[in-house]
Amino acid sequence: MSERIERPRGTHDVVPAEMARWRHVTDEIERLCALYGYRRILTPAFEDTALFARTSGGGSDVVQKEMYTFTDRSDRSLTLRPEGTAPICRAYVEHGMHRDPQPQKLYTIAPMYRYGAPGRGRYREHWQASVEAIGSGDPSLDAELIQLYDTLLGRLGVCSYHLELNSIGCRDCRPSYLERLRAWLADNDARLDAHTREKAATSPLRVFDNFLAKPEPVREALTEAPTIGGSLCDACVEHFRAVRADLDATGVAYRLVPTLVRGLDYYSRTTFEFVGPMENENSTITGGGRYDYLVEELGGPPTPGIGFGAGIERLLLAMAEDGVEEPPSPGIDVFFALEPGALRSAVVGWLAALRATGVSCDMDYAGRSLKGQLTQAGRLGAAATVVVAGDTATIRRPGGDDTTLPHEAVVSTLSP
């Protein structure tokens, strides 16, 4: 035997046995997106490295240590997409969608790539639904998008989760907040630990990350730090109020988390995360927010936008965690089992004729005994099993009476 080749670290296969669950999730996403007016878009798996380097932010973990970047044979720097928003915005600009009716509601379901340490619910290649509404700053759109995902969780049977919500301000108010925060961090430097100091130097907004893991004195100190919520400009306060009002109106529960900052730098105003029931730390099933400057940064006109990335694998884990039953996989219509001595040539013709009329059917290709063939019919969930003898065939249906027919009548009897 040759040396065995295994799948690369951090990747996974979706085998047929899992496909019913997988399809259940993606079908529901597609159904909801259609219901909310989102249209599907497909973008390349790799992009110009600059697309992510410029938009995600140089200080972000994604850019700093998680990008799959490579040069092709012409020395172009390319990167396997780590997230879905920037590519969709790039396509929005590139195809002049800003000239189409606004907002453009777009979504994709596609694999994303991040070179991080793998674990449960954490993959180097993972699938995400990326749902984006570009071209409107209406706060109702923020709420609608959040409500869409909330509805998805409900439809999929996930109930152990909560929604964390925050506003991180805009161009007008965030800089002054940052200034105040920086000043506070400098004044209180002695009360911080090394980790927090490091964050304070690179991305001050993130000093609140992982709050619960910090030493008690540091936590105590940070509770005194100014939060963005107290520093929003009037427009941002009003926007956030309107978002919450819509969420209240649609019955979406949320927790205000004034320290919630997202991992990508392009966000502004509304940010949110849905946190699921998983035991380990990878329990964020969806994260998203508003990105009112992203399109502009990509060379388009000033254009607001909002979206989220929903991890498919984590959704599946959350469903498993909540004990959601597997949807029954559909069986085939007809299975042909041959008595010893029956001619296969006739059955081959019947299969083709029935399939042509839309009847799904199959027979044994493993040399099984009749009993084995009947077992196989059961495994395939056949609605009808046809036991083929020399000149006749007997149609069996679970719970029904057997019908024995001459060969000539088989196809017409089984056709719809």
263 forms part of the interface with RNA (CB under 7 A): yes
- Run of H or E including 337: strand 334-338
194 forms part of the interface with RNA (CB under 7 A): no
Residue closer to RNA by CB (options 116, 226) is 116
325 neighbors 158 (Cβ within 8 angstroms)? no
Residue closer to RNA by CB (options 125, 246) is 125
CB of 96 to RNA, least distance (A): 27
314 forms part of the interface with RNA (CB under 7 A): yes
**Of positions 155, 162, 191, 195, contacts RNA by CB under 7 A:** 195
User: Residue 354 and residue 86: Cα distance in Å, rounded?
Assistant: 47
The three-state secondary structure class of 381 is: coil
User: Residue 278 and residue 283: Cα distance in Å, rounded?
Assistant: 5
CB of 161 to RNA, least distance (A): 11
310 neighbors 285 (Cβ within 8 angstroms)? yes
Interactions with RNA, residue window 360-399 (CB under 7 A): 366-369, 371-372, 374-382, 384-385, 396-398
Residue closer to RNA by CB (options 98, 162) is 162
311 neighbors 287 (Cβ within 8 angstroms)? no
Q: By CB under 7 A, which span of 6-14, 159-167, 221-229, 320-328 interacts with RNA?
A: 6-14
Residue 289 pairs in a beta bridge with: 271, 307
10 forms part of the interface with RNA (CB under 7 A): yes
User: Residue 191 and residue 200: Cα distance in Å, rounded?
Assistant: 13
Residue closer to RNA by CB (options 66, 144) is 66
User: Residue 386 and residue 377: Cα distance in Å, rounded?
Assistant: 10
Q: By CB under 7 A, which span of 165-173, 179-187, 234-242, 279-287 interacts with RNA?
A: 279-287
User: Residue 142 and residue 306: Cα distance in Å, rounded?
Assistant: 7
**Residue with tokens 């069986």, as numbered in its chain:** 331
User: Residue 188 and residue 45: Cα distance in Å, rounded?
Assistant: 45
CB of 362 to RNA, least distance (A): 11
341 forms part of the interface with RNA (CB under 7 A): no
**Of positions 147, 268, 286, 303, contacts RNA by CB under 7 A:** 286
Distance in Å from the first CA to the final CA of the chain: 49
Residue closer to RNA by CB (options 217, 378) is 378
268 neighbors 170 (Cβ within 8 angstroms)? yes
Which residue pairs from 187-196 have beta carbons closer than 8 angstroms and sit at least 24 positions apart in sequence? 188/221, 188/224, 188/225, 191/217, 191/218, 191/221, 192/218, 192/221, 193/218, 196/222
Interactions with RNA, residue window 113-142 (CB under 7 A): 114, 116-124, 126, 128
User: Residue 46 and residue 70: Cα distance in Å, rounded?
Assistant: 10
**Residue with tokens 């254009």, as numbered in its chain:** 303
Q: By CB under 7 A, which span of 167-175, 183-191, 215-223, 285-293 interacts with RNA?
A: 285-293
402 forms part of the interface with RNA (CB under 7 A): yes
**Residue with tokens 């069996």, as numbered in its chain:** 396
Q: By CB under 7 A, which span of 2-10, 38-46, 238-246, 350-358 interacts with RNA?
A: 2-10
Residue closer to RNA by CB (options 71, 375) is 375
Residue closer to RNA by CB (options 323, 398) is 398
Interactions with RNA, residue window 50-89 (CB under 7 A): 60-62, 83
Binding mask 196-235 for RNA (x = CB under 7 A): ---x------x--xx--xx---------------------
280 forms part of the interface with RNA (CB under 7 A): yes
The residue among 58, 85, 80 whose CA lies nearest residue 10 is 80
Cβ count near 253 (within 10 Å): 11
4 forms part of the interface with RNA (CB under 7 A): yes
Q: By CB under 7 A, which span of 26-34, 159-167, 227-235, 280-288 interacts with RNA?
A: 280-288
Angle between helices 139-156 and 234-249 (to 10 degrees): 30
Length of the chain: 416
CB of 415 to RNA, least distance (A): 18
CB of 213 to RNA, least distance (A): 4
253 forms part of the interface with RNA (CB under 7 A): no
Residue closer to RNA by CB (options 79, 376) is 376
